[in-house]
C-alpha cells in the first residue's frame, strides 16, 4: 500500500499561478518517515513546517526571529528527509489568466472555477496511472480546505471513481497539515514548484533557497523521481479544443449537474388538513 499526500501552492486569489502537487510514500516507510520528521521539528523548535512562512520569517509563526541561513538549513533538511523516504512526485500548474480566458464558461460547470481543483484532477490522473502500472493500492491524503473547495475536490474524486471503479471511493481523507508530516513535505515541494513556475512564466526570480531546493527534486533517481507539467497558453487552448463538447466533457457536466440537484434542499411537505 502507498500513500500520496496532496497540497497546493498559489491558489490564493492574489497569485497568478496555481499548483497542485503530490508525493508518494510506501506505507511501510511512513512510520520511520514520521519519526524522523517529528525529530527534525523538535530539534528546530517548531510545531510544523510551512514553507512560505519559514522563508518569510512570519512574525506570527514559529519562524519569527529566524534568519535566511536558519530557514535554508531547515528546508534543505526537510527536503533530505522527504527524498529519503518517498518514491515519486507529481506537480501540475496553470496560469490563472489563461484558464479564465480560454476555458468556456460552459465548461466551468464541469471542470470547475477553481484553478487548484483543475490541477488536482490532473494529479489524480497521474497518480492513478502510477498506481496501476505498479499494481499498488493508493490512499489519498489531502490538506484541509474550505467547505466549498472540499466539496469540489470530493466531486472530482467521486467522478474519478466513476471512471476508475474501486480506486478512490473510501481511499481518501482530509487531514490537518500540522498533524501530518507528509502534508508538510508536499507543501514544501509545491512551494518550490510555484517559485519555479513564476520564474519561467513571468520572469519573477526564484527565492535563493528555492533555487537550491529545485535541482535535488529534479535530479533525484536520475530525473525520474518527479513528473512536472505546466500548461502554457497554447497547451490550455489545445486541451480546450480537445475536451470541449467531447463525450467526457458532457458526462462530467451531467455528473456535476446531478450532484448540484442532489444538494438542493428538499421542499417541506405540508401537513394535510384534517
| CATH number of the domain where residue 6 is located | 3.30.420.10
Is residue 245 included in any domain, yes or no?
no
Is residue 212 included in any domain, yes or no?
yes
Domain interval for residue 55: 2-235
Query: How many domains does the structure of the chain reveal?
Result: 1
Instruction: Work out the number of other CB atoms within 10 angstroms of the CB of residue 161.
Output: 16
Which percentage of the chain shows pLDDT scores above 90? 64
pLDDT, tens digit (0-9, with 9 covering 90-100), for 231-271: 889 988 998 898 888 887 777 777 777 766 776 666 665 55
As a whole number of angstroms, the distance between CA 85 and CA 180 comes to 15
196 has pLDDT over 90:
yes
DSSP per residue, the chain: -EEEEEEEES-STT-SEEEEEEEEEEGGGHHHHHHHHHHHHHHHT-S---HHHHHHT-TTSTTTT--HHHHHHHHHHHHHHHHHH--EEEEEEEEHHHHHHHS-HHHHHHH-S-HHHHHHHHHHHHHHHHHHHTT--EEEEEE---HHHHHHHHHHHHHHHHHSTTTSTTSEEEE-GGG-HHHHHHHHHHHHHHHHHHHHHH-PPPPHHHHHHHHHHHHHHHHTSEEEEEE-HHHHHHHHHHHTTSHHHHHHHHHHHHHHHHHSPPPPPPPPP-
Is residue 262 included in any domain, yes or no?
no
pLDDT, tens digit (0-9, with 9 covering 90-100), for 216-232: 999 999 899 999 998 88
How confident is residue 7, by pLDDT bands cut at 50, 70 and 90?
A: very high
pLDDT, tens digit (0-9, with 9 covering 90-100), for 71-94: 999 999 999 999 999 999 999 999
pLDDT, tens digit (0-9, with 9 covering 90-100), for 146-187: 888 888 888 888 878 877 888 998 999 999 999 999 999 999
Is residue 14 included in any domain, yes or no?
yes
How confident is residue 106, by pLDDT bands cut at 50, 70 and 90?
A: confident
Is residue 27 included in any domain, yes or no?
yes
pLDDT averaged over every residue in the chain: 90
DSSP per residue, 30-83: HHHHHHHHHHHHHHHT-S---HHHHHHT-TTSTTTT--HHHHHHHHHHHHHHHH
Is residue 255 included in any domain, yes or no?
no
Is residue 194 included in any domain, yes or no?
yes
pLDDT of residue 31: 98
Is residue 259 included in any domain, yes or no?
no
How confident is residue 111, by pLDDT bands cut at 50, 70 and 90?
A: low
The pTM (predicted TM-score) of the whole model is 0.90
Amino acid at each position: 500500500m502507498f500513500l500520496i499526500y496532496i497540497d497546493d501552492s498559489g491558489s490564493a486569489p492574489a497569485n497568478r499561478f496555481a499548483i497542485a502537487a503530490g508525493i508518494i510514500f510506501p506505507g511501510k516507510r511512513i512510520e520511520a518517515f514520521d519519526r524522523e520528521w517529528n525529530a527534525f521539528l523538535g530539534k528546530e523548535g517548531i510545531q510544523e513546517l510551512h514553507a512560505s512562512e519559514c522563508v518569510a520569517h512570519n512574525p506570527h509563526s514559529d519562524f519569527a526571529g529566524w534568519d535566511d541561513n536558519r530557514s535554508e538549513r531547515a528546508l534543505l533538511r526537510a527536503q533530505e528527509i522527504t527524498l529519503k523516504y518517498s518514491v515519486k512526485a507529481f506537480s501540475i500548474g496553470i496560469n490563472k489568466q489563461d484558464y479564465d480566458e480560454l476555458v468556456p464558461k460552459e465548461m466551468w460547470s464541469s471542470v470547475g472555477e477553481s484553478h487548484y481543483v483543475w490541477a488536482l484532477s490532473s494529479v489524480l490522473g497521474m497518480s492513478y496511472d502510477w498506481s496501476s502500472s505498479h499494481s499498488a493500492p493508493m490512499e489519498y491524503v489531502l490538506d484541509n480546505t474550505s467547505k466549498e473547495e472540499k466539496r469540489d475536490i470530493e466531486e472530482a474524486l467521486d467522478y474519478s471513481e466513476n471512471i476508475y471503479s474501486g480506486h478512490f471511493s473510501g481511499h481518501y481523507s482530509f487531514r490537518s497539515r500540522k498533524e501530518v508530516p507528509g502534508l508538510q513535505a508536499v507543501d514544501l515541494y509545491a512551494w518550490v514548484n510555484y517559485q519555479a513556475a513564476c520564474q519561467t512564466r513571468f520572469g519573477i526570480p526564484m527565492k535563493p533557497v528555492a533555487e537550491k531546493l529545485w535541482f535535488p527534486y529534479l535530479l533525484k533517481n536520475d530525473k525520474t523521481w518527479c513528473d512536472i507539467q505546466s500548461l502554457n497558453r497554447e497547451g490550455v487552448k489545445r486541451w480546450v479544443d480537445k475536451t470541449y463538447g467531447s463525450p467526457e466533457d458532457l458526462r462530467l457536466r451531467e455528473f456535476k449537474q446531478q450532484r448540484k440537484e442532489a444538494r438542493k434542499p428538499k421542499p417541506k411537505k405540508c401537513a394535510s388538513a384534517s
